[in-house]
Amino acid sequence: MIELRTPAQIEQMRPAGRFVADVITALSEAADVGVNLLELDEIAHQMIRDRGAESCYIDYHPSFGASPFGKVLCTSVNDAVLHGLPHDYVLQDGDLLSVDFAASVDGWVADSALSVVVGTPRQEDLDLIATAGRALDAGIEAARVGNQLGDISAAIGNVARAAGLGINLQFGGHGVGRTMHGEPHVPNDGRPHRGLKLKAGLVIAIEPWFLHTTDEIYTDADGWTLRSKDGSRGAHMEHTVAITADGPLVLTARG
């Protein structure tokens, strides 16, 4: 069921959005050569405890997961692009790291992701991150009353195709509210002027993710981490966005 939020409820979601943005910022600043992925997870976990928030991940066990996730943060490195299960790995110079984090504050959820290069960057990685960022911006711009869900998807897909990237439709954006994942599903490609009519009060996570040279993925032996089939690197960007009468409101805006 698709739920629309009142203006008052959207205001109540702001603290969750600010908290998730603060955690993503702290993680991006802490990510450096020599830092262990488990250290990043502990930073997020401590911030959850300090805020009195609740993790959306630690007990999360959907049909596609091998077991409850067990951590509070997704850390996807290089050829991993989604659902990266934090493990005993020390970040190396040039690693492409994506962090994805969702939490509940006062009963409301926000969800966001960011990709960064640790240490010395490869230009192709910077270009991939920039493309994912442009796709996210285009999707947000299309998240307006009177548009349709396909307009958001098409805006994202147009950016990817212009950059020569393939688009995987298995995982994409989603509704956000009292839980992390709800209706509607927001694919990262689609046809404009098709699908659900966008109304004020709809809150969604918009999350483009792309791989350098493929759109095919497989699940790692850990039962969670999704990796590119050809070993190419991935980038992932995400914001929680409320559609309002005044335009899109990015609840997880950083800075």
CA distances 25 to 36, 43, 48, 112, Å, are 17, 11, 14, 11
What value does the mean pLDDT of the chain take?
A: 97
Give 151's contacts (C-beta < 8 A, 6+ positions apart).
Answer: 142, 192, 193, 198
Percent of the chain's residues with pLDDT above 90: 97
Torsion of CA 19, 97, 229, 225, to 10 degrees: -50
pLDDT value at residue 63: 86
Which pair of structure tokens corresponds to residue 226? 């999704």
What's the pLDDT tens digit per position in 162-218?
Answer: 999 999 999 999 999 999 999 999 999 999 999 999 999 999 999 999 999 999 999
* Predicted local confidence at residue 97, as pLDDT: 98
Q: Sorting pLDDT into bands at 50, 70 and 90, what band is 255?
A: confident
Per residue in 13-34, pLDDT (tens digit) is 999 999 999 999 999 999 999 9
On the question of pLDDT at 66 being above 90, the answer is no
Beta bridge mates, 55: 103
pLDDT of residue 55: 97
- The reported pLDDT for the residue numbered 217 is 98
- 3-class DSSP state of 118: coil
How far is Cα 184 from Cα 165, in angstroms, rounded to an integer? 25
Looking at the predicted structure, is the pLDDT value of residue 155 above 90? yes
- Residue 172 amino acid letter: G
Q: Is the sign of the CA dihedral 181, 185, 189, 195 positive or negative?
A: negative
Mean per-residue pLDDT, 61-69 = 90
Query: In 10 A of CB 63, how many CB atoms?
Result: 4
pLDDT recorded at residue 22: 98
What confidence score (pLDDT) does residue 64 get? 86
Q: Could you tell me the pTM of the whole model?
A: 0.97
- Would you state the pLDDT for residue 138? 98
Would you state the pLDDT for residue 51? 98
Amino acid at 138: A
pLDDT at position 114 is: 98
